[in-house]
Amino acid sequence: MQKIPVEVFPSSQDAVAKLAAETAELIRSNEAAGKQTVLGLATGGTPIAYYKELIRLHKEDGLSFANVTSFNLDEYAGLPQDHVESYWYFMHQNLFNHIDIKPENINLPSGTVADADIPAHCAEYEQKIKDAGGIDLQILGIGRTGHIGFNEPGSPKDSLTRAIELDPITREDAAPAFGGLDNVPTAAITMGCGTILAARRIVLMAWGEGKAPIVNEAVTGPVNDIVSASYLQEHANSVFYIDQAAASKLEA
C-alpha cells in the first residue's frame, strides 16, 4: 500500500516539465510578494533534466533566479571545488553558470574542511538555512541504499548536517565516474534527515527500472533508518515524481 503520494509520468521529461513549472511558479509568486525563494538542490544523474528545464525557462521565458537562495544536500569529503566530480563543480556546470543566481546565494557544504572544523562547519550550514527562512522546496533523488542526500542506512530521522561514511554500494555506484572504486571518497558531508524533513515541500524524483525496487520499499515499506527515504512517509507535503519504469515494482 502506498504511504506517500506518487505521480507516475509517461517519461522523465514529462515529470521534470511539471516540477520545473512548479518551481517557476513558486519563484514568481514569492518575488511578487517581495520574498526570496529557498531551494534545496540535489546532484547525480536524476536532476540533470530538471536543471536543463530550469535553464530553458530562464533563457526562453525570462525566469529570474536573482531572488533565489540555494542549499545543496551534500558534498564529497576531500574534493576541492574545482575537482570535476565535486558537487560544487557539478552544480555550476549543470545549472548555476547558466542562470542569474547570485554567487553569494549559492550554498554547498565544503569538501575541504579540516576534520577538527567539520562540526562547526555543519552547524554553520544549519544556521544559514534557518537564517534564510528554511527551505521552500527540497529536490531529492534516491540512491540504491534508499538514501536521501548521503543519509546512508542507520541515519536517524532527526539527524542534522554532519560528516558521514559512505556505504560500499554508494561508492560502487560512483566508481565509474571516478575511474575506479579506489578513487571514490569514503566520506561526505550531508544535510541530515531532520534538515531535509524541515523543508516545506519535498519532491523526490526517480527514473528507470533500476530504481523501481527501492522506490517501492520507500513508498510502501515500514518507516525505518535503513531506508532514509521512508521518512518521507511522515512528511505532510512530500511526493514522488517517477517515470513508468521506476513505478514498475510498486505494490498496489
Active site residues: 152
Q: What DSSP line would sit under 123-174, residue for residue?
A: HHHHHHHHHTT--SEEEE---TT--STT--TT--TT--SEEEEPPHHHHHHH
Q: What DSSP line would sit under 188-203, residue for residue?
A: EEE--HHHHHTSSEEE
The whole-angstrom distance between residue 47's C-alpha and the CA centroid of its chain comes to 8
Q: Which residue in 61, 46, 55, 59 sits closest to 13, CA to CA? A: 46
Integer Cα distance of 215 and 250 in angstroms: 7
Integer Cα distance of 92 and 97 in angstroms: 5
Q: Are strands 74-76 and 6-9 parallel, antiparallel or unpaired?
A: unpaired
Q: How far is CA 114 from CA 48, 72, 183, in A?
A: 30, 20, 20
